[in-house]
Structure formats: structure tokens, C-alpha cells
Structure 1
Amino acid sequence: MRVAAIDCGTNTMRLFVASLNPDGSLHEYDRRLLFVGLGQGVDATGLFAPDALNRAFDACEQFNEIIADLDCERGRFVATSATRDAQNRDELFRGVRARLGINAEVVSGQEEAHLSFRGALSGIRSKADPVLVMDSGGGSTELVRGVGAGADLAHIDASVSLNIGSRRLRERILRSDPPTADEIARARQLVRSELDSSGVELSDIRTFIGVAGTVTTMSALAQHLRRYDRSRVHGSVLSQAAVHEVADRLLGATVSEVVSWGPVQPQRAEVLCAGALIVEEVASRVGAPELVVSESDILDGIALSMLVDGKGQAISAD
């Protein structure tokens, strides 16, 4: 059985078509990303902007063609932080149903964290426990602490979804290009306050795994890649020093300068400095000496939830 996993985030909308191999791993047929910016302005207005909704619907139409071509039987459309905050989310739901034949789900921050944890550990083996998976998104940041054993999780000790993300922090505080010293100080204060009250112990973490676009792009920059190369990013390692170096570089650069470096798309470059600041602040509290970068993430967790747990919906033709 082939399934279609869709992650509708604050910055991007992503599709993953997969089936299950005999050994329990995922077989990939298609994986792609579109910058939609659905969360644009949501932090300030509490509403999806009409242009953002239109971009999301265009992405759904593109994905629908791929899903049909690959004969997917089940699908799951998972909407996260921006949709949780938007008062007009029903407009998104109606558009998704009309274009994809499945209903959108707004998952809680806790479920988002668990899906990210499961997805990350399906592609990265933890070297030692406890393990922390950090999913640094556009609207929120998930921290999940537990014991990892490949795709089969022994248990999760603690998880939290923090109401800080790259787009949210950029629009709320880091508004200058590049951010001013005062903006950076205020942003750090906010992130540190969120981490202080997170309830997730970080100091004794022995395996630190990061997923999502901020972390993977930071790895590409640390490797001085001129073009983004998924094969070189997945499983790469960033030392604590490298995390701080890349974050400082991003916070001191304009958006156009970041784009000129090569592997960063303009839509990502607009919010990357804010995401990097969040990653840097989390890393500074983690006991592990390095950050392992994973391309396996919430999309893989969504696919496994359908293929292993029977979740998702049959894809309707109407």
C-alpha cells in the first residue's frame, strides 16, 4: 500500500509518498517541498491571509496530481502551528477537501512532537540515551526527550511544543534586515524564557537530533555547499561551535546576502536567522557535544502512522 503524507507547516507544505519495506523501513516514491508561507501574518492577525490560502491551494493541486499518478490509497494531511492559531482555518479545510479528497487534521503540539520523534528515529539511530529530537519549525519548536530504538520507540519521557518558531520570531521581534543588537537580545530573552519553563530536561542529553528546514539548512551552510544536497545533509553532524558560528553569521547578514551563499532559497532566507537563534539557544543547553541532522522528520512519522498504525483516510475521488 502506498500512502501520501502531507505536512502543512507555517512556512512550507511538503508531500511524502511511501510504502513499507519488509524490514519495516520506508520505501520512498516521492518527497517534495513547496514554500507556501501559510503562517504569514497569523501571529499578528490570527487569520490566514487570502494570498497565503491561495498558495496553499495551488500546492494541494500540484500534490493531488502526484498522489493520483502514484496510486496512493490512503492519505493524511497534518496541519500544525499556524493552523492551530488561525481563526479562519475552516477555509483551509474546505479547500483541502475539495482538492485532495481527504480532511485536514489539526494536530496538537504534543502529537506533532511525537510524530517528529518517530520520524527522526526512523532515519537516524540514536547512539546513546537519553535522546532529544528538536523540530524547529516556522510557528513552533518541538522538543521530545526519550529512549530511541530505530522506528520502534521504547518510550518518550517528556515532550513540549513551544510557541516560538522562525517565522513567528522574525515577524514579532527580528524585523530589521539584518536584525539589530537590541532585537537579537529581546529575541534571546523570549526564547530563554520559553526554554526555562519547558519542563524538558536537556543537560543530560547524550544524542541530540535536529529536524526540519532550519537545521538542515544550517548544516548545508556549515558544509559550504553551493547547492543543497540532501544526501550530504542527512546524518551530518554540527558541533556546538559550528551551531554558534552559523547562527552568528546568519544574524549578521541581510536576506539577500544569505541567498547569495547558494543553498538557501529566498523564502527560507527570510526567516532563517530567527530559526538559527532558536536552534543555538536549545543547543547551548543540551549536554551532547554535537547536533545530528536528520532529513527524516514529521513526514516519515505521518507515513508510519498510516502504514503501521492504520491512521489516515482513504483517498476519495470526489
Structure 2
Amino acid sequence: MADFDPPATQEEDRGRHDLPQDPQSDGQSDPPSVKAAPDNKAKSKRPGNARDEDLRPAPAIRTGGPAPNLGQSRQAYAAIDLGTNNCRLLIARPSGENFVVIDAFSRVVRLGEGLAQTGRLSDEAMDRAVAALKVCADKLRRRNVHLARSVATEACRRASNGEAFIERVRTETGIALDVISAQEEARLAVLGCHVLLEQGEGPAMIFDIGGGSTELVLIETGEGAVPRILDWQSVPWGVVSLTESFADGAGSLDRVQRLDRYRRMRRAVRDSFADFSERLDPFRDMPARDPPRLLGTSGTVTTLASLHLGLPQYDRRAVDGLIVPATAMRDIARDLSSLDRAGRQELPCIGRDRAELVVAGCAILETILDLWPAEKLGVADRGIREGILRSLMAGARLGDANRALARRERAL
């Protein structure tokens, strides 16, 4: 779902995570936690509360091997997120109510390349994705993973040959991809990163700028472990789809043309959020003790946060959980939109692979800042994969509790 990965060393083998990685030692004062209670599931695109019957853990898929003892912390869980631009894997073991990452993988596969023009996944794009998923399948076997969930998002939802691709993946890799809805995508993103949201009262906004779509989720935090979803929206603008819809002439535009392109991008994104913006009016006008809170999970926000910090290379521990002034992010976005592609490539934490897509991400980000005018922006280098892991572990923990209760009842 995320748009693009910041640079990483040994990207094909380790992704952006140092291994092994303990969420409790990643520099955050509030490490990710997994509660036994089911988590919230996003509702339809209308204001209101999620229904209790929708608060179920996501389904688990067994990947082989003997039936695991879910009560043991050595059990490995895995999450695969195949997005429009990236293929990502995370493997972890429970550690109390948290989890420890034992393996990770990330590769840019550009699955949605050309989709905006043809409506199909190209043969080359599918080949790249299958090759990456074969690496994931090998890691699942080597780590003896028993419980996993593998999801595909906007590119597979939109492509006319998406179903054929899903079957090819199953045949060649053994991985059963679940093409999830935008609603489920939003729910998992919130579940994966909401612990990084600033403390405060009143509604808060969490967003994910993806490769083929962007999700915004309005939440209410309270005493529960998982926030309540008030409203949400998904639009088919991500960094890949927006870039391909507003071509830059292979990077040949002059400065005036680049700025005009950026304005047209922003206008398109703003128009797509028009209905959602109207639904937000009552929440924006609601008197609150605390200013609006905003948290973003995507390669766009982590890359811009890296530029804000002046990092020579991407450092997840410095970025994940960072709070940045919104004005600083706007300034960086506008500076990037005025540079040509060669100029963007020279900047640390962008490079050649991200120079083409980052302007579209900036256009989406600035439009979100207009929509929900927070003074500060929280930055999360976590999302769908972490949300899947939490949901799997919560479901397993709930299953353990139910089995223990059944044993006690039989003993009576």
C-alpha cells in the first residue's frame, strides 16, 4: 500500500528493518502492542460508528507444517503486502503483548506500471512481482511460518487481469493473495500505526499515500486499545497513478511547466476528496482542547521527514514516530515540486528510483494538509504489514483464551 520505500541497504534481503528488530527498542516511548480484544474494522464511506460485529480479527492462512501451538511465543507469523509499487514481507514472533521482527523483505516491483493507461497488469510487471513473491515464499519456508496473511491492493483491484495474476502467483509460489478492499486496507493501516499518534482529545486523521490509492481515516481515540473509526475515504490517486496521469515529458519540463503540473495534480486530488471534505466539516468545527492530530504512513512522509532531518541516508529509527511541523513538510514538498528530476535524484534519501514519484506524493500530502489543517504531522514507518501481524496475533490469542475456557468448562 505504501508508495515507495526510502533507500535501504541490502534491500532485497532485509527491507528497511534491522534484523532482528524489537519494537520495544525502536526509539519509541510507546511500543506497538497487541491486545486480545478484536480490533476495529472500517465501515462504509459514511459518518457513524463501526458496528460491533465488524470488530473481528483478520483471517489466518496456514502455510504448511505441523499444527502450531499458538500459546508459545516461538510461533512465527508473517504478513505480505503486495502494493502498486512495492512487495513487502514481515515475519515476527510474539513477545508478551508486542512482537519481535525476525525477518523482513522489501522490493520495488512497480506492479501497477502502465495500469492507468491500459487497465491491465503488464507481463513485465507481473514477472517482477512473482520474482519478489518467490523470495517471500522461500523466507516463509525457512522461518517455518505457520500463520500468514498475504494481501494485494489497488493494482490488483483495478486490473482486468488481476484474477489471472493472483492464480499465477498461487501456482508459481504457493502464496494465496487476498485482494482486499479499500476499506480493509484502511483498517489495517490504522491498526498498524495508530500507536504513534500523539496523545490528545478530539478526532484525529490517519492517512496512507499508496502507489495506486490513498486512504484517509478519521478516528476517535479513547480508553480502548484500538481507536474507533468515525469515517474514511479512499481515492484512486497514489504516487504511481498520479504520476502516470500527469506525465512530465520524461523529465523535460521547465520550471514553470513543473509548477503548473504540480498545481494540476493537487487540483485532481482535491476534487477527489470533495465529498469527504464536506463530511469533515462538523469535526473540523467541533470545539476541542487539543489541536487537530495527523499521522501519515507512507514512503512520501518518511522520505520528506528524512530530508527535514538532513539525514545522509534513510534511518528508520530516526524517522518512525517523528513529529514534524506541517509547515516544514509543505516547504519541502514545494521545493521538490520545483526541481527537475535530475535535481531530485541528487538529494539524499530520494535517489533515482524515487525521483520520478516523489512529486506526486508531495501533491497528495499538501492536499491532505489542506483537508485536515494540523500544526504537526506524525510520521510512521509502519502500516499494513504491522496491522496484519497484530490482527493475526490477536486472533490467535483470542483463540487460546476460548480453548482454555472450553477446557475449564469440560472439567466442571
Would the TM-score normalized by the shorter structure come out above 0.5? Answer: yes
Query: How far is the alpha carbon of 1:310 from its aligned partner?
Result: 5.2
**3-state SS of paired residue (1:222):** helix
Residues 205-251 of structure 1: per-residue CA shift (max 9 Å, x gap)? 72210001111111111112111111111111221211111111211
From the two aligned structures, give the one with the greater strand fraction.
1
Quick one: which amino acid aligns to residue 199 of structure 2? K
Matched, 1:187 2:276: no
Q: How do 1:105-124 residues align onto structure 2 when only pairs under 5 Å count?
A: 105-122=178-195, 124=196
1:224 counterpart (287, 310, 323): 310
Determine the C-alpha separation between the residues in 2 that align with 1:20 and 1:151.
21
Matched, 1:126 2:198: yes
Could you tell me which residue of structure 2 aligns to residue 7 of structure 1? 81
Alignment of 1:12-161 (within 5 A): 12-22=86-96, 24-122=97-195, 124-128=196-200, 129-148=202-221, 152-161=225-234
| Separation of aligned partners in 2, 1:275 and 1:18 | 30
SS in 2 for 1:134: strand
**Superposition RMSD in Å:** 2.1
Where does structure 2 lack aligned partners over 5 or more consecutive residues?
1-74, 286-290, 398-412
CA contact (8 A) 1:121 1:150 kept: no
**8 Å contact kept, 2:89–2:385:** yes
Q: Which amino acid aligns with 2:272?
A: E
CA distance, structure 2, for counterparts of residue 18 and residue 151 of structure 1: 24
Aligned partner of 1:171 in structure 2 is 244
Q: Is the 8 A contact 2:197 2:293 kept in 1?
A: no
Say which is worse superposed, 51-60 or 61-70, in terms of deviation: 61-70
Q: Of 340, 347, 359, which aligns to 1:254? A: 340
Contact 1:144 1:158 (C-alpha < 8 Å) held by counterparts: yes
The answer to whether the 8 A contact 2:105-2:136 is kept is no
For 1:230 and 1:99, the matched residues in 2 are separated by 33
CA distance in 1, matches of 2:329, 2:185: 24
1:196 aligns with 2:274: yes
Change (3 A) 1:150 1:310: farther
- Structure showing greater radius of gyration is 2
Mean Cα deviation higher: 99-108 or 8-17: 99-108
| Alpha-carbon shift at residue 306 of structure 1 (Å) | 1.6
Q: Which of residues 290, 293, 299 is equivalent to 1:207?
A: 293
Contact 1:219–1:293 under 8 Å retained in 2: yes
How far apart are 1:76 and its partner, in Å? Answer: 1.2
Query: Secondary structure of the residue that 2:104 maps to in structure 1?
Result: strand
Name the amino acid aligned to 2:171: A
Judged with a 3 Å threshold, the aligned counterparts in structure 2 of structure 1 residues 159 and 166 are, in CA distance, closer, same or farther, namely same
Q: Give the aligned partner of residue 321 of structure 2.
A: 235
| CA deviation after TM superposition for structure 1 residue 198, in Å | 2.1
User: Normalized against structure 1, the TM-score is what?
Assistant: 0.91
Distance 1:304 1:99, change over 3 A: farther
> Unaligned regions of 5+ residues in structure 1, if any?
312-318
